[in-house]
Structure 1
Amino acid sequence: MAATGASNVLIPSVDLLAYVIFLVLAIGLLSLLVSRRFNVSYVPLFILLGIFVGPVLGILNRTLAHELFSYIRVFGLVMILFTEGHTLSWKMLKKNSGTILTLDTIGLLLTALIIAFVFSRVFGVPFIVGFLFGSIVAATDPATLIPLFRQYRVREDIETIIVTESIFNDPLGIVLTSVAIALLTPEASSARFLESLAHYVGLYPAALLFFAYQMGVSVLIGVSLGVIGYHLLKHAEIEGFPEVVIFSLTLAFGGFLLGELAQASGYLVATLTGIVLGNHKVFFRDEPEVVRRVMRAIEREVHFNESLATMATIFIFTLLGASLDPELITSHLAPGVAVALALIFLARPLAALPILRWHSIREYLFISLEGPRGVVPAALASLPLTLGLTYGNGQLAQWGEVILSTTIITVLVTVIIETLWVPLLRERLIEASSIEKELRRSRKKRKGAR
């Protein structure tokens, strides 16, 4: 017999996985029904109900939930990103490339530096420790944003900017974290590749080279797989329901594995493969009959994969909530919430200021106020503590506990706040901005007619 967490709930080990699946799916169904009834985001409901069945009631063991989360986050993110890649418009990506590039470079670095300063002041630690925290929480979360914007139907160009930013900033957030680790614990295995590069060119140039390598190799593998996938769909005539779904899953996870083996970003590879397939009419000029046949196959796999991505979202955030340690959160609750609020209302808005040259003040505000943190920060949160314990660095272990608890608090606060206010912000900022643009166009037309 195996306990699931509460002393009065015992489940045979052979049925344990079925028990967890049932519990998580029941939470997912309840959350979706509540979301539809009251028109609120379902992502924070997954987390809150996960906390309720995990740390509060104990009917789902926190250790088991954490172990399952470490696996499901990989599967779930690949599915979410690969599926979303199909829906990203190449036209919109090109049109908003300046905004996306700015947010993923200057914006991300400024966010990490500003929140590093706040963290070091709030907790009284050296700035480099704050920079480690800032690097961990710098990346926004596509797993939260994609289902959120699908639920509320945000204007396509704004959705493309925020979602694409969140997809592309994960690798840079990981690189920034590696730089901070290399500065604090150069002997760490995760910093060895950077250290070997830094031996020849210095740490910061090495970080730039590492990032360039990750992006370049990810783009090469992702685009290549997209092209190969298209030609297989075209020539092998893979279009029936079972085979096209299996084909797409093989492509998505094969791309992820290739990216990780090449020390690039497997998640970015999966996304780019999806973008090439989803925009095949733009990239491949084939006969109308071929285009229609390939489109039918892609529509079948996207329809199935969207359901799979929704299931993955349920499991990711429910298990994340169920795996949380209440003591870890309460130990630094007040300062942790203060840091999270500073990230929402200070660091990201300041870091996003450069995009004002392309966007109205209302669009800028919406973009800067929609940057929830999620799966990647949650996965990196325990790294400083682990390194401190592994290398016998008592000071890093102590700082690591603070970073771990504050990161989890930041994820919870940003996800809850920045998902619940989407309908209000969309109405007050995006829809109002669209009306303003229409009025300006009308005035120009009237002036031209005169």
Structure 2
Amino acid sequence: MSSLEVAKHDLLYVGVIIFAGLLGGVLARRIKVPDIVLFLVIGIALGPTIGGLLHVPADSVMNQMILTVGACYLLFEGGATLRFVVLREVWITLLLISTLGVLITGAITAAVGVWFGLPLAIALVLGALTASTDPATLIPIFKQVPIKDRVSQTVMSESALNDAMGAIATFAVVGYVMGTGGGFSLTGSLQTLAWEVGMGLLLGGLVGYAAAFLMAHNSFGIFRDVTPFVIILAVITVYLLADAVHASGFMAVFTCGVIIGNKEAFGLPLDHHEHEYLEDYMGNTALLMRMFIFILLGSQVDFHLLKEYLGIGLALLAVFIVIARPLTVFLCAAPDRRAKWSLKELLFMSWTRETGVIPAALVGILAGMKVPGMDVVGAITFIFILGTILIQATTTSLLAGKLGLLKSQQP
């Protein structure tokens, strides 16, 4: 097939995904479910097994480009939602649950996976891959459901922060499993992690401030009228810079989002009209990224593997929801005397932890890297994504009401 024919096929796939995604988004709003649920279902329906309209191999350039850009942008948006005012009150909880919490959740998942009969390498990758929560699901939910501010901001901030840590942990585990590190070394792993995180934070902070300066400074804000393009350029630039120095591109992109999202704290505010314009742009772009990631993921589901691993996937999901997440929350948040979490708040945070965009994107990226066992990991991850979204996302409002955490219930 010629390059022109390949380009035409890819263009057709882009059109199909956008059209189907727009229809799915409208339907999701009407039936009041997270849009990514319908995007997954649409992807399954359009994929080669059923509809045959969408066939984008996991190792194709198009798939890798969409997943990498999509994951970066969604992490950027997640970082942009984090507010310094929340950090001051709950930073200890956020630090613990986004670092130690990722390891606790991943370790429990991996250990139970091995106990259920999964090979150790596959269980480790699965544990790391599914340990983070999902800002792309949680942020829209909390915009629709008026939850007590500090609880909703904490859960959203955690979901944004631990995605970067989850991605770092995943690639560290993959390096160990594939033997690229020459054997496991705790000291070496900690040094590598420190470098990846530290440089990611530094580069993200520098690029984020530079972008905010050029967008919003009174005298030097020369790109004030083209802020969306500055955002895209900042995301691409900081990711590639971090990758060039072997730092975490995901952490860099996330940090960049945090700085730009809190630009007012640096004396770089946009006026009300410009701020609304930027918010609309970021929301619409994030929607587009969710469409592509989840529809592509659904189209790549292997039904034979899904059927084969449905039992173990559901069993792991049950452990994931009722043991791994609550244990993580109570170990990381309950000791935080500064935040003084109530039992009801801890119970709510224990239930609210959807798996979604970043694990989905990482599945595609690792499949393209030919990581062994990714077909099995992908099938179980799909069960996790669909299960947590269908079970937990759809019951968020009900649980918040029962626990008295809705804003309308506050004195």
TM-score, normalised to structure 2, is 0.85
Does structure 2 conserve the Cα–Cα contact (< 8 Å) formed by 1:363 and 1:433? no
Does structure 2 conserve the Cα–Cα contact (< 8 Å) formed by 1:88 and 1:160? yes
Kindly indicate whether residue 102 of structure 2 is the aligned counterpart of residue 108 of structure 1. Answer: yes
User: Aligned equivalents of 2:398 and 2:146: distance in 1?
Assistant: 13
Give the CA deviation at 1:15. 4.0
Indicate the SS of the match to 1:263: coil
User: Aligned equivalents of 2:162 and 2:214: distance in 1?
Assistant: 31
Indicate the SS of the match to 1:140: coil
In structure 2, the partner of 1:5 is: none
Give the CA deviation at 1:75. 1.8
In structure 2, the partner of 1:344 is: 321
Give the CA deviation at 1:303. 2.6
User: Aligned equivalents of 1:137 and 1:230: distance in 2?
Assistant: 32
> Which of 1 and 2 has greater Rg?
1
Give the CA deviation at 1:239. 5.2
1:134-166 CA-partner distances (Å, limit 9, x unpaired): 122222233333333334454432233223223
Where structure 2 has 5 or more consecutive residues not aligned to the other structure, the ranges are none
In structure 1, the partner of 2:200 is: 218
In structure 2, the partner of 1:426 is: 400
1:382/1:151 Cα in 2 relative to 1: closer, same or farther (>3 Å)? same
1:174/1:153 Cα in 2 relative to 1: closer, same or farther (>3 Å)? same
User: Aligned equivalents of 1:179 and 1:13: distance in 2?
Assistant: 34
Higher-RCO chain (CA-CA 8 Å, sequence separation at least 6): 2
Indicate the SS of the match to 1:264: coil
Give the CA deviation at 1:47. 0.7
Where structure 1 has 5 or more consecutive residues not aligned to the other structure, the ranges are 3-11, 285-289, 391-396, 439-450
User: Aligned equivalents of 2:114 and 2:96: distance in 1?
Assistant: 26
Counterpart residue type for residue 323 of structure 1: Q
Q: What does 1:23-422 align with in structure 2 at a 5 Å threshold? A: 23-64=16-57, 67=60, 68-123=62-117, 125-126=119-120, 130-181=123-174, 184-186=177-179, 188=180, 191=181, 203-233=185-215, 234=217, 235-238=219-222, 241=225, 243-284=226-267, 291=269, 297-354=274-331, 355-357=333-335, 358-381=340-363, 401-422=375-396
- CA RMSD for the aligned pairs? 3.2
Structure with higher helix content: 1
Mean CA deviation greater in 98-107 or 353-362: 353-362
User: Aligned equivalents of 1:66 and 1:303: distance in 2?
Assistant: 32
Does structure 1 conserve the Cα–Cα contact (< 8 Å) formed by 2:147 and 2:405? no
User: Aligned equivalents of 2:175 and 2:238: distance in 1?
Assistant: 28
TM-score, normalised to structure 1, is 0.78
Counterpart residue type for residue 46 of structure 1: F
Give the CA deviation at 1:171. 4.0
1:161-208 CA-partner distances (Å, limit 9, x unpaired): 22322333234334444554465443x3xx35xx5xx6xxxx122222
1:80/1:379 Cα in 2 relative to 1: closer, same or farther (>3 Å)? closer
1:254/1:183 Cα in 2 relative to 1: closer, same or farther (>3 Å)? closer
User: Aligned equivalents of 2:47 and 2:386: distance in 1?
Assistant: 15
- State the identity %: 27
Counterpart residue type for residue 338 of structure 1: A
Mean CA deviation greater in 41-50 or 138-147: 138-147
User: Aligned equivalents of 1:85 and 1:13: distance in 2?
Assistant: 36
Indicate the SS of the match to 1:341: helix
1:270-300 CA-partner distances (Å, limit 9, x unpaired): 232232223222233xxxxx7456x755543
Report the count of equivalent residues.
402
In structure 2, the partner of 1:445 is: none
